[in-house]
Amino acid sequence: MKTRRRVTVSLTSDTLRFVDRQAGEHARSRSAVIESLILESRRRTREQELGRRAKEFFAPTPAPEETDEGNQWLEMSLEAQRHDR
């Protein structure tokens, strides 16, 4: 079991009522409720980050003409063609 550290936090009255309501409904302590909410938030953040990384990884690679370098090569190629005529 992980060691727990005691901290003090300040919450709005509405937030504290929510925590107390959750604690009562689930027969848990305030600490347990707050910790579970934080763990859930961390899980969602990790999922969002993984989703962002997957989206980047699977995003289609732009065609060369869609990139700055591709545009530069296209311009040089067209310029060379004009000079060859």
Query: Which pLDDT belongs to residue 64?
Result: 62
Position 70 pLDDT exceeds 90: no
Question: Domain total for the chain?
Answer: 1
Query: Which pLDDT belongs to residue 65?
Result: 60
Domain containing residue 22: 13-84
Q: Is the residue at 32 inside a domain?
A: yes
Query: Which pLDDT belongs to residue 73?
Result: 78
C-alpha closest to that of 37 among 22, 24, 25, 50: 22
Query: Which pLDDT belongs to residue 21?
Result: 98
Residue 60 pLDDT grade (very low, low, confident, very high; cuts 50, 70, 90): confident
- Sorted by sequence, the CB contacts under 8 Å of residue 4 that are 6+ apart come out as 31
Q: Is the residue at 27 inside a domain?
A: yes
Look-up of token digits 């545009």: 71
Q: Is the residue at 2 inside a domain?
A: no
Query: What predicted TM-score, i.e. pTM, was given to this entire model?
Result: 0.63
- Sorted by sequence, the CB contacts under 8 Å of residue 36 that are 6+ apart come out as 28
Q: What's the chain's average pLDDT? A: 89
Q: Is the residue at 71 inside a domain?
A: yes
CB 44 within 8 A of CB 59: no
